[in-house]
């Protein structure tokens, strides 16, 4: 187990190095940040002095190694626009992104798992057909459009929820619903198909043959096994969500990391973009590691020892 | 390797299975109708999606009070016809969607074939790069690259396609790992068939089925991503109308003109729904076929 965790931590390191390399070289091709930092009427000498001061005249490889050396000491640079450490800005915005992603995920799982189980148990019923049709529609709606529709209905026409901002529960509802509905659709379909597969297994038939109550058969025998693929997909989706809420954050003026990075990309704020992408990618890998470790709790047959 | 007649028989079976699935028939029919409308509408109307009629600005759809048949789905804030713009937008979305999937499929299949067949260091390298791409926040990657390269249709196709190669590469690699141990491949190798011929003639045809299913699903994803990028102002450059930009522009008038934010979104949803229905049908039709592939 310890060996497996070490291996996965090594995986995190090389992913972080890869991500930092890609973002470093791409972002540095996008233009000269010094021109953005100085007033438009700055002289050539002023531009040159600042470029020298910030080390932008050094070869790209040297600049990258300097960035990597600082990153190892926890220093991901200072935002060119906000003039504060990039990591501080990210950690200031990260709770908002985690809150939104977490709320969307909770809502989706809370509705999708029971719905998927019911659809599987009552296969072919009106509930099954109706919920799977609704799920198909849910999967087909871009979440930002759904967000706009929710604003149109619940904010503009009914006046129940505010259109934007963060701070109260009411402000969280619409963005979380918009993000969560497509996840709900995905999880409901997945739960149904996995449950159908599990319900056809010998051990479920044996449990039924032993006279166990249906609720126990589904809750104890079937669901536990059906949870493994669901946990995998939910974990991956949570990782994607943290960096993928950019458009929803824009629609609802949600002050998360995604919106911060998009603004940083537009203003060529290199250090902030690099730092944010790095933090989000490492979070993604760590969440996946956590999911892998969760398997052991869900299924004692899975062992990460001995190279298996 | 699948022999020609056997291959034809299996494709025939797949088509028959697709025909038996109501979802696939509805989805396929709807997608065909959308594709045909998108391709053929210029033959029936020469209306310009950029033509402004400031006297008719924010005209509601024809079924609503104040609407007119001259603009069946209403007009926007500059008096441009919403229906004409949606039709022109469909061309952009569908073209970018299918083209980006081709790019992703092409690069993913090639890397997956090489990775799975040759193994060793090449496999390690390709899979480690795939790990990095998997962890890179996709939307931020595409926005960063578009910010660097500038937004044009070609850049959009390349960025969306090249950001999405990983899923194909992993799927193909998985299939190759099992296929390369089969007798027909070992036999080909033992008679001295060059590796590239084995890859092209014996392995490639056998990895196509999962890629086909995957590609169908990913077209839907790419269309959603393209509209998202357009919504953020990072998609196809103006003045070309796109569904995403129509939504972004319409959002300003959400309190006065519901149709500007509703109808382009409905167009996206219908297209994605059609593709998803077809994708589900294809998956169901191809699954048994996958089990029948000679091992």
The model's pLDDT over B103-122, given as tens digits with 9 standing for 90+, comes to 999 999 999 999 999 988 99
Would residue B4 count as lying in a domain?
A: no
- C-alpha span between B145 and A27 (Å, rounded): 8
From the list B135, B231, B254, which residue is nearest A284 (CB)?
B135
- C-alpha span between A90 and A124 (Å, rounded): 48
From the list B129, B139, B258, which residue is nearest A243 (CB)?
B139
Which residue, chain included where needed, has tokens 């790019």? B103
- The pLDDT assigned to A36 comes to 67
Q: Identify the closest residue of chain A to B220 by CA–CA distance.
A: A140
**Is residue B276 exposed (0-12), middle (13-18) or buried (19+ Cβ within 10 Å)?**
buried
The count of C-alpha atoms lying within 13 angstroms of the C-alpha of A9, restricted to the half-sphere facing its C-beta, is: 6
3-state secondary structure of B53: coil
Check if A176 contacts B (Cβ < 8 Å).
no
Summarize pLDDT for B83-101 with one digit per residue, the tens.
Answer: 999 999 999 999 999 999 9
What Å distances lie between residue A143 and A181, A265, B231, B272, CA to CA?
8, 22, 12, 13
Q: Which helix (H) or strand (E) holds A118?
A: helix A86-121
Would residue B74 count as lying in a domain?
A: yes
From the list B135, B136, B143, which residue is nearest A265 (CB)?
B143
**Residue predicted with more confidence, A27 or B266:** B266
Closest CA–CA distance from residue A73 to any residue of chain B (Å): 22
pLDDT at B288 over 60: no
Peptide bond into B223 cis (omega under 30): no
pLDDT at B267 over 90: yes
- The pLDDT assigned to B151 comes to 83
3-state secondary structure of B71: strand
- The pLDDT assigned to A308 comes to 38
- The pLDDT assigned to A307 comes to 43
Would residue B5 count as lying in a domain?
A: no
**Residue predicted with more confidence, B246 or A235:** B246
User: Which residues of B have a CB under 8 Å from any CB of A?
Assistant: 128-129, 131-132, 134-141, 143-145, 147-148, 220, 224, 227-228, 231-232, 247, 251, 254-255, 258, 261-262, 265, 268-270, 272-273, 276-277, 280
Check if A177 contacts B (Cβ < 8 Å).
no
- C-alpha span between B85 and B267 (Å, rounded): 11
Check if A18 contacts B (Cβ < 8 Å).
yes
What is the average pLDDT across B75-81?
93
- The pLDDT assigned to A60 comes to 85
What is the average pLDDT across B214-223?
89
**Tokens representing A126?**
């009106």
Closest CA–CA distance from residue B69 to any residue of chain A (Å): 25
Would residue B3 count as lying in a domain?
A: no
- The pLDDT assigned to A249 comes to 92
Q: Quick one: chain A helix, strand, coil %, rounded to 5?
A: 75, 0, 20
Closest CA–CA distance from residue B212 to any residue of chain A (Å): 19
Q: Label residue B44 by pLDDT band (50, 70, 90).
A: confident
- The pLDDT assigned to A300 comes to 64
- The pLDDT assigned to A9 comes to 81
- The pLDDT assigned to B4 comes to 60
Q: Label residue B290 by pLDDT band (50, 70, 90).
A: very low
Long-range CB pairs of A254-259 (<8 Å, 24+ gap) are: A254/A96, A254/A100, A254/A164, A254/A165, A254/A166, A254/A175, A255/A93, A255/A96, A255/A166, A256/A93, A256/A94, A256/A96, A256/A97, A256/A100, A257/A90, A257/A93, A257/A94, A257/A96, A257/A97, A258/A97, A258/B139, A258/B140, A259/A93
- The pLDDT assigned to B36 comes to 94
Contacts of A139 in chain B (CB under 8 A): 272, 276
The DSSP string of B155-211 is HHHHHHHHHTHHHHHHHHHHHHHHHTTSHHHHHHHHTT--HHHIIIIIIGGGGHHHH
pLDDT in tens, chain A (308 residues): 778 778 878 888 888 888 888 877 776 776 676 776 677 788 888 888 888 887 888 888 898 888 888 888 888 888 888 889 999 999 999 999 999 999 999 999 999 999 999 999 898 899 999 999 999 999 999 999 999 999 999 999 999 999 998 989 999 999 999 999 989 999 999 999 888 888 888 888 888 888 788 888 887 778 877 888 888 888 888 888 887 788 899 899 999 998 898 888 888 787 888 888 888 888 888 888 888 777 777 766 665 554 43
Closest CA–CA distance from residue B244 to any residue of chain A (Å): 9
What is the average pLDDT across B52-56?
89
pTM attached to this predicted model: 0.86
**Residue predicted with more confidence, B144 or B203:** B203
- The pLDDT assigned to B271 comes to 96
- The pLDDT assigned to A303 comes to 59
Contacts of A240 in chain B (CB under 8 A): 137-138
- The pLDDT assigned to B263 comes to 96
Q: How many A-B residue pairs are in contact by the CB < 8 A criterion?
A: 128
- The pLDDT assigned to A49 comes to 87
3-state secondary structure of B48: coil
- C-alpha span between A16 and B275 (Å, rounded): 35
- The pLDDT assigned to B232 comes to 87
Cβ pair B228:A142 closer than 8 A: yes
- The pLDDT assigned to A212 comes to 81
Q: Identify the closest residue of chain B to A145 by CA–CA distance.
A: B265
- C-alpha span between A195 and B79 (Å, rounded): 52
Closest CA–CA distance from residue A211 to any residue of chain B (Å): 34
Cβ pair A244:B277 closer than 8 A: no
Domain count within chain B: 1
- C-alpha span between B118 and B128 (Å, rounded): 15
Residues 225-264 of A with CB under 8 A from B: 239-240, 242-244, 246-247, 250-251, 258, 261-262
- Which residue range is the domain that position B131 belongs to? 10-291
Cβ pair B144:A284 closer than 8 A: no
Check if A23 contacts B (Cβ < 8 Å).
yes
Closest CA–CA distance from residue B70 to any residue of chain A (Å): 26
Which residue, chain included where needed, has tokens 């109708």? B33
- The pLDDT assigned to A306 comes to 47
Nearest one of A68, A71, A90 to A79, comparing CA atoms: A90
State chain B's mean pLDDT as an integer.
87
Burial annotation B112-144 (CB, 10 A radius, 16+ → b, else e): bbbbbbeeeeebeebbebbbbbbbbbbbbbbbb
Contacts of A242 in chain B (CB under 8 A): 137
Q: Identify the closest residue of chain A to B230 by CA–CA distance.
A: A247
What is the average pLDDT across B190-194?
89
Cβ pair B139:A247 closer than 8 A: yes
Q: Alpha carbon B278 to chain centroid distance?
A: 12
Q: Please state the domain extents for chain A.
A: 1-308
Q: What CATH number corresponds to the domain at position B85?
A: 1.10.3720.10
Cβ atoms B60, B66 nearer than 8 A:
yes
- The pLDDT assigned to A219 comes to 78
Would residue B270 count as lying in a domain?
A: yes
Cα torsion angle, B236, B237, B243, B248, sign: positive
What is the average pLDDT across B197-226?
88
Task: Output phi, psi for B37, to 5 deg.
Answer: -60, -45
- The pLDDT assigned to A38 comes to 74
CATH number belonging to domain A1-308: 1.10.3720.10
Cβ pair A145:B148 closer than 8 A: no
Quote the Cα angle for B240-B246-B248, to 5°.
Answer: 120
Check if A26 contacts B (Cβ < 8 Å).
yes
Check if A284 contacts B (Cβ < 8 Å).
yes
What is the average pLDDT across B6-10?
72
Number of residues that make up chain A: 308
């Amino acid at each position: 187990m310890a060996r497996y965790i070490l291996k996965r931590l090594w995986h995190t390191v090389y992913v972080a190095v890869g991500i930092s390399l890609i973002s470093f070289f791409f972002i540095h091709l996008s233009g000269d940040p010094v021109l953005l930092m100085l007033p438009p009427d700055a002289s050539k000498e002023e531009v040159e002095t600042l470029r020298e001061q910030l080390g932008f005249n050094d070869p790209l490889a040297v600049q990258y190694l300097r960035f990597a050396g600082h990153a190892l000491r926890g220093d991901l640079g200072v935002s060119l626009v906000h003039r504060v450490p990039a990591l501080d800005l990210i950690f200031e915005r990260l709770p908002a992104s985690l809150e939104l992603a977490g709320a969307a995920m909770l809502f989706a799982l809370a509705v999708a798992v029971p719905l998927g189980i019911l659809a599987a148990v009552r296969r072919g019923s009106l509930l099954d057909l109706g919920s799977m049709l609704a799920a198909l529609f849910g999967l087909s709606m871009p979440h930002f459009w759904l967000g706009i529709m929710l604003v149109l209905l619940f904010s503009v026409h009914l006046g129940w929820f505010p259109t934007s901002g963060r701070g109260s529960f009411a402000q969280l509802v619409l963005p979380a619903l918009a993000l969560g509905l497509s996840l709900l659709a995905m999880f409901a379909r997945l739960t149904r198909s996995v449950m159908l597969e599990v319900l056809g297994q010998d051990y479920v038939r044996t449990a039924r043959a032993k006279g166990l109550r249906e609720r126990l058969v589904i809750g104890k025998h079937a669901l536990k096994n059906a949870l493994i693929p669901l946990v995998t997909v939910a974990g991956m989706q949570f990782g994607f969500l943290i960096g993928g809420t950019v458009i929803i954050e824009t629609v609802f003026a949600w002050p998360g990391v995604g919106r911060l990075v998009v603004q940083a990309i537009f203003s060529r704020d290199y250090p902030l973009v690099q730092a944010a992408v790095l933090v989000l990618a490492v979070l993604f890998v760590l969440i996946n590691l956590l999911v892998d470790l969760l398997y052991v709790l869900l299924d004692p047959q899975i062992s990460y020892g001995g190279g298996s | 390797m699948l022999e020609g007649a056997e291959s034809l028989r299996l494709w025939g079976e797949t088509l028959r299975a697709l025909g038996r699935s109501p979802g696939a028939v509805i989805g396929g029919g709807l997608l065909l109708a959308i594709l045909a409308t998108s391709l053929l509408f210029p033959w029936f109307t020469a209306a310009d999606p950029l033509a402004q009629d400031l006297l008719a600005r924010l005209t509601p759809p024809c079924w609503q009070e104040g609407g007119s048949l001259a603009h069946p789905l209403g007009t926007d804030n500059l008096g441009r016809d919403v229906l004409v713009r949606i039709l022109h937008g469909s061309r952009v979305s569908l073209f970018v969607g299918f083209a980006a999937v081709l790019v992703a499929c092409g690069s993913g299949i090639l890397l997956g074939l090489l990775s799975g067949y040759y193994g060793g260091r090449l496999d390690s390298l390709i899979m480690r790069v795939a790990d990095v791409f998997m962890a890179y926040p996709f939307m931020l990657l595409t926005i960063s690259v578009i910010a660097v390269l500038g937004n044009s249709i070609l850049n959009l196709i390349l960025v969306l396609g090249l950001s999405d190669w990983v899923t194909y590469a992993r799927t193909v690699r998985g299939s190759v790992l099992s296929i390369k141990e089969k007798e027909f491949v070992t036999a080909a190798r033992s008679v001295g068939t060059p590796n590239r011929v084995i890859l092209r003639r014996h392995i490639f045809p056998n990895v196509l089925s999962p890629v086909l299913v995957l590609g169908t699903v990913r077209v839907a994803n790419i269309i959603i991503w393209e509209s998202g990028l357009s919504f953020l102002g990072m998609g196809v450059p103006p003045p070309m109308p796109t569904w995403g930009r129509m939504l972004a522009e319409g959002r300003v008038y959400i309190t006065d003109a519901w149709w500007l934010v509703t109808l382009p979104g409905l167009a996206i949803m219908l297209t994605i729904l059609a593709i998803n229905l077809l994708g589900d049908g294809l998956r169901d039709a191809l699954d048994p076929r996958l089990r029948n592939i000679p091992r």
